[in-house]
């Protein structure tokens, strides 16, 4: 028997679906809303105008994230279901060929033919479609596309992320909007990158640095646009 301690191994790949949507939503919420606030504030708008722009950006962004994530992930789900339907039909029409195909997949991975054939037969007897979905199509039930889950995760985390620069705007004096919102938003991005990296098992510093640099770049560019627009007007 193998070491029972190996049963306690922790793997994080099953988090990929919701983790990607959640991190993307929160990151976009912080970056886009902070950039919008800094851009409008740089055009010398009033606090009320800046706040209105920020809240509008939160609502529009959350809905856009939800719709975009739902449509894109649903497209993936449709493709998966179409592939499964084809595979199910092939299993009904020519089960012998499908069994040999499954056997060859294991042989291609380095399993000897006799063992591969026995495994293929046992898995086919247990759940043929599940075996082919996993081994031939790469579809695993627990990480398959879930459009509604992805949409809700993106929208909610976008709103939470966007709330950070909006809270900073409400707390700091209007003359200190740029440094106040910028610093707080970058700190939130660094924290988000750290948490996302740890949840995925990646180095925390690299994750924090990556999102912080991109966020800083976006904020600088929108601030420059706002100043240019304000100067022209």
Mean pLDDT of successive 10-residue segments in the chain (233 residues)? Answer: 48 52 84 94 88 95 91 85 89 90 90 90 89 82 69 89 95 89 95 81 83 93 86 45
pLDDT score recorded for residue 233 = 42
Where b means 16+ CB within 10 Å and e means fewer, 193-229 reads bbbbbeeeeeeeeebbebbbeebbebbeebbeebbee
pLDDT on residue 17:
52
pLDDT, position 115: 92
- pLDDT tens for each residue of 76-97: 888 888 888 998 899 998 989 9
pLDDT, residue 224, reads 92
Given a contact cutoff of 8 angstroms between Cβ atoms, the answer to whether 50 and 37 are in contact is yes
Looking at residue 113, what is its pLDDT?
92
DSSP helix/strand/coil, 219: helix
pLDDT of residue 1: 44
pLDDT of residue 213: 93
Tell me the average pLDDT of the chain. 84
Q: What CA–CA distances, in Å, run from 206 to 60, 63, 108, 133?
A: 30, 30, 36, 35
Q: CA 23, CA 194: separation in Å to the nearest integer?
A: 11
The alpha-helical segments, DSSP class H, found in the chain are: 16-42, 47-93, 95-108, 113-132, 147-171, 177-200, 204-232
The tokens for 29 are 């919420």
Burial 10-30 (b: 16+ CB within 10 A, else e): eeeeeeebbbbbbbbbbbbbb
Question: Distance (Å, rounded) from C-alpha 161 to C-alpha 61?
Answer: 11
State the pLDDT at residue 35. 95
pTM higher than the cut 0.95: no
């Amino acid at each position: 028997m193998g070491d029972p301690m190996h049963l306690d191994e922790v793997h994080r790949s099953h988090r990929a679906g919701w983790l990607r949507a959640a991190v993307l939503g929160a990151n976009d919420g912080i970056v886009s809303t902070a950039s919008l606030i800094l851009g409008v504030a740089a055009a010398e708008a009033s606090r009320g105008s800046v706040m209105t722009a920020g809240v509008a950006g939160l609502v529009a962004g959350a809905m856009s994230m939800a719709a975009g994530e739902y449509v894109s992930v649903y497209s993936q789900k449709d493709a998966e279901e179409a592939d499964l339907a084809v595979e199910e039909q092939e299993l009904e029409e020519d089960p012998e060929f499908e069994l040999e195909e499954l056997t060859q997949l294991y042989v291609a991975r380095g399993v000897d033919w006799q063992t591969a054939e026995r495994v293929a037969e046992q898995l086919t007897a247990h759940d043929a479609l599940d075996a082919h979905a996993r081994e031939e199509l790469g579809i695993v039930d627990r990480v398959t596309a879930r459009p509604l889950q992805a949409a809700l995760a993106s929208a909610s985390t976008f709103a939470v992320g966007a709330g950070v620069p909006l809270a900073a705007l409400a707390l700091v004096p209007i003359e200190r909007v740029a440094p106040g919102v910028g610093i707080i938003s970058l700190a939130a991005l660094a924290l988000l990158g750290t948490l996302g990296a740890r949840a995925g098992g990646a180095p925390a510093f690299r994750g924090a640095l990556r999102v912080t640099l991109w966020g800083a770049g976006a904020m600088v560019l929108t601030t420059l646009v706002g100043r240019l627009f304000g100067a022209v007007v």
